[in-house]
Amino acid sequence: MKPQEIAALLDLGDSYLERYRGGKKIKKVLKNRTQINLFFEESTRTSTSFELAGKRLGADVINMVTSTSSIKKGETLIDTAMTLNAMRPSVLVIRHGSSGAAALLAQKVNCAVINAGDGRHEHPTQALLDALTIRRRKGRIQGLTVAICGDILHSRVARSNIHLLNAMGARVRVVAPPTLLPVAVDRLGVDVFHDMRSGLAGADIVMMLRLQTERMKGAFVPSTREYFHFYGLDADKLAMAKPDAMIMHPGPMNRGVEIDTEVADDIDRSAIREQVETGVAIRMACLDALCRDLDAEEDD
Amino acid sequence: MAADRRVVYMNARLIDPSSGRDERGALLTVGGKIWDLGAALFADGITDGSEVVDCKGMCLTPGFIDMQVFLGESVGTTARAAAAGGVTTIATMPNMNPVVDRASLVDYVERLAQDSGVRIHPIAAATKDLGGEEMTEIGLLRQAGALAFTDGRKAIADSQVMRRILTYARAHDALVIQHAEDPMLAREGVMNEGEMATRLGLPGIPAIAEVIMIERDLRLVELTGCRYHVGLVTTAAAVDAIRQAKAAGLPVTCGTAPHYFALNELAVAEYRTFARTSPPLRTEEDRRAVVEGLADGTIDVIVSSHDPHDVESKRLPFDLAASGVIGLETILPIMLELHHGGHVPLARLLTALTSRPAQILGIPGGKLAKGEPADLALFDPDRPWRVDPEQFRSKAKNSPFEGRPVQGRIVRTIVGGRTVYQAG
């Protein structure tokens, strides 16, 4: 996406956030539209967030959770896509454990497709909500130093954030043990740090990632204890960042593994709960932006 | 076919890489053998009532010998695909159901192959059920006709097992073929490790997984003296390792496939599952090293690594899709890209597809010479066309070259003096 397009989505998300915070009426732009949430991976907050966003805009929302335990999950993806397509939804929201799954689905259906996370590839709406959260607190994104810390290797959130924050002119750092960094990550336009203190030095934003134990076949770090010692965010390490540095986390948090409870709950520094609220607004913006075009087409 | 049937191939550009012959002339086959050939043959145009095929100046070469073909579909369609690609002999991988790990199964494959039109030689499993643990009956399998031993798409990973196989196979003068990929390093990977994999969010297979396996094996080859062949070499480091081993006089040979010298990892962009292969497509630097290895003879043979998969196993998210590509029907034009581009001389390329594989496998053929089997490929090296898998004889259509403009087309394929393919 181009910076202007990102900014436009953020503006739209911002206005939705203001409207529902202020208790103002929200135009049901998705009235008579069907939104299907197709989740092949367990998710509470993302699916709830998309569901709520759709409902606030007046859409009929259907949630489908499909087990990924079946070895035929790939087949299920195409089959399910064809079946759902025949039901003529306006928008499909998909999460899948395989990188590229959303793109594959988009080739097979006629409706809009929103990627709610595909493997370790991307999670675009998470990056958008993070950007909006940053912009609301800091007033800008351009020129900020953002340190993304933790399991970069398995994280789609990290990849989407790196692309988006770079596009918007932030300086992005990644902080992780070498075993949790993908090969050639520096080619994505980030500064790489293995030492958390130097990685956090002077940072405006500290973005923590969850240690994705379920994606780890074999040990990438010796123990959670050692991980917390070197890469867990506590008050001591946080002191290296700017005094007004903001803490973010896409959730769900592993307290005591990548983040200390006191830091996570520090109302002044932590934007973690705000991220959840922003998430609904930004997903409303995405749904609105995609379905507006649909309206125009059908009115013709 | 009458045993004394005489066919004259007139006006041919006779290319025999083993002898360096490259001249305009004629070739006479009698029955299933090459009877005579040369510029002087039938120079007066009198052919004594033989059947005459006018080659119109096109290249007449030994039929191609493809050392690595997976029988993923019926022998019939595979053989027809081979014939359409100028391939007159294929060696089949043991990855079948059941696995070719007993003498009776070698016999079974040979019988299936009998009336297929091309020559089919089974390669047997090196370990029972490709399990990587227990050695197969190498001696009996060899007697039954197995040309070589391999675990197919899997590396023989256990160092002790590999050592014993090489030690034992040496006594039977058997060839051991390795799929050079350290399975532990490759474990989760689905494409080449690097920036591309990082951007696509796909787990990578590091290039070193190949050379680590090869370097271990080279030590064992040094120890045992067994003939050892790396099925597919795909990285710069592996080409170097083999170059050095050859210089040191080890009995080592290796092959590669067209996709490793014609494509790089960028072919995987947009999660193209038709470009998912094992080993994976590598970087541009690796691709260039493979071309260099072919040019200087470090890489001995070119194989198609023909591996048919139906649409269902390819139309999946990348990490769940099958790996493997078909290649029998594109081996010539993709190989000729290196000739047309001036990277590798034509004779050198043809060696890798004719006399060299025959020599490594220890089978007749691969030469244009009196008394050799009349297995021939007639092709126009320049004719342009566009790869269209829908036109293929192969039932599976998983070609990574779909839509590619290429040059060079098979016009006629002859096995044992009999035409088994003729372009329409």
Which residues of A fall within a CB distance of 8 Å from B194? 183-184
Q: Are B316 and A78 inside 8 Å of each other by CB?
A: yes
Please check whether residue B197 touches A, CB under 8 A: yes
The amino acid sitting at A86 is A
Q: Is A46 a catalytic residue?
A: yes
Q: By CB neighbour count within 10 A (0-12 exposed, 13-18 middle, 19+ buried), where does A53 fall?
A: buried
Please check whether residue B285 touches A, CB under 8 A: no
- Closest chain A residue to the Cα of B198, Cα to Cα: A182
Q: Which two tokens stand for residue B33?
A: 């053998």
Q: What is the pLDDT of residue B395?
A: 95
**What's the per-residue H, E or C state across chain A?**
CCHHHHHHHHHHHHHHHHHHHCCCCCCCCCCCCEEEEEECCCCCHHHHHHHHHHHHCCCEEEEEECCCCCCCHHHHHHHHHHHHHHCCCCEEEEEECCCCHHHHHHHHCCCEEEEEEECCCECHHHHHHHHHHHHHHHCCCCCCEEEEECCCCCCHHHHHHHHHHHHCCCEEEEECCHHHCCCCHHHHCCEEECCHHHHHCCCCEEEECCCCHHHCCCCCCCCHHHHHHHHCECHHHHCCCCCCCEEECCCCCCECCCECHHHHCCCCCECHHHHHHHHHHHHHHHHHHHHHHHHHHHHC
DSSP state of B325: B
Nearest to B317 among A74, A156, A159 (CB): A74
Q: What is the pLDDT of residue A73?
A: 52
Q: Are A74 and B320 inside 8 Å of each other by CB?
A: yes
DSSP strand pairing (A112-118 vs A145-149): unpaired
Higher pLDDT: B261 or A1? It is B261
Q: What is the pLDDT of residue A217?
A: 57
Residues of chain B with pLDDT under 50: none
Interface test with B, best of A104, A153, A181, A212 (most B CBs within 10 A): A104
Q: Are B317 and A122 inside 8 Å of each other by CB?
A: no
Q: Is A123 a catalytic residue?
A: yes
Sign of CA dihedral A208, A210, A215, A218: positive
Q: Are B318 and A120 inside 8 Å of each other by CB?
A: no
Predicted-assembly ipTM surpassing the 0.85 threshold: yes
DSSP strand pairing (B301-302 vs B51-54): unpaired
Nearest to B271 among A78, A103, A159 (CB): A103
Best CA proximity match to B329, nearest among B62, B80, B17: B80
- Measure A77 CA to nearest chain B CA, in Å: 8
Q: By CB neighbour count within 10 A (0-12 exposed, 13-18 middle, 19+ buried), where does B371 fall?
A: exposed
- Measure B282 CA to nearest chain A CA, in Å: 14
Q: Are B271 and A99 inside 8 Å of each other by CB?
A: yes
For the stretch A14-65, pLDDT in tens is 999 999 899 888 889 999 999 999 998 888 889 999 999 999 999 999 998 8
Best CA proximity match to A165, nearest among A191, A136, A198, A142: A142
For the stretch B28-41, pLDDT in tens is 999 999 999 999 99
- Kindly state the average pLDDT of the residues A133-139: 96
Residues in B 306-335 with any Cβ partner in A closer than 8 A: 312, 315-321
Q: What is the pLDDT of residue A293?
A: 67
Q: Where residue A300 falls among pLDDT bands split at 50, 70, 90?
A: very low
What secondary structure does DSSP assign to B245-282, as a single string?
HHHTT--EEEEE-HHHHH--GGGGGGG-GGG--SSPP-
Sign of CA dihedral B207, B162, B119, B75: negative
Annotated catalytic residue, options A34, A56, A80, A95 = A95
Q: What is the pLDDT of residue B324?
A: 97
Please check whether residue A267 touches B, CB under 8 A: no
**Most confident range, picked from A74-78, A218-222, B404-408:** B404-408
For the stretch A146-185, pLDDT in tens is 999 999 999 999 999 999 999 999 999 999 999 999 999 9
Phi and psi dihedrals of A48, rounded to 5? -65, -40
Q: Where residue A294 falls among pLDDT bands split at 50, 70, 90?
A: low
Q: Are A77 and B204 inside 8 Å of each other by CB?
A: no
Please check whether residue B271 touches A, CB under 8 A: yes
Q: What is the pLDDT of residue A71?
A: 44
Q: What is the pLDDT of residue B227?
A: 98
Interface test with A, best of B188, B198, B312 (most A CBs within 10 A): B198
Q: Are B201 and A120 inside 8 Å of each other by CB?
A: yes
Best CA proximity match to A121, nearest among A148, A95, A152, A159: A159
DSSP state of B32: T
Annotated catalytic residue, options A19, A55, A73, A121 = A73
- Measure A254 CA to nearest chain B CA, in Å: 23
Q: Are A101 and B317 inside 8 Å of each other by CB?
A: yes
Q: Where residue A299 falls among pLDDT bands split at 50, 70, 90?
A: very low
Which residues of B fall within a CB distance of 8 Å from A183? 193-195, 197-198, 204, 206
Nearest to A184 among B195, B203, B315 (CB): B195
Q: What is the pLDDT of residue A67?
A: 64
- Measure A169 CA to nearest chain B CA, in Å: 19
Interface test with B, best of A41, A79, A99 (most B CBs within 10 A): A99
Q: Which two tokens stand for residue A29?
A: 């732009």
DSSP state of B40: S
Q: Which two tokens stand for residue A170?
A: 């932030």
Q: What is the pLDDT of residue B289?
A: 98
Please check whether residue B265 touches A, CB under 8 A: no
Q: Measured between alpha carbons, how far is B327 from B261 in angstroms, rounded to an integer?
A: 13
Q: Cα dist. B369→A133, B150, B374 in Å?
A: 78, 31, 9
- Kindly state the average pLDDT of the residues A87-106: 94
Q: Are A183 and B198 inside 8 Å of each other by CB?
A: yes
Q: Is A121 a catalytic residue?
A: no
Give, for B243, the enclosing helix (H) or strand (E): helix B236-247
Which residues of A fall within a CB distance of 8 Å from B320? 73-74, 98
Residues in A 166-205 with any Cβ partner in B closer than 8 A: 182-185, 187-188
- Kindly state the average pLDDT of the residues A77-91: 87
Q: Are A119 and B320 inside 8 Å of each other by CB?
A: no
Annotated catalytic residue, options A56, A123, A249, A269 = A123
Chain mean pLDDT for chain A: 91
For the stretch A243-291, pLDDT in tens is 999 999 998 899 989 999 999 999 889 999 999 999 999 999 999 999 8
Angle made by CA atoms B349, B351, B355, in degrees to the nearest 5? 155
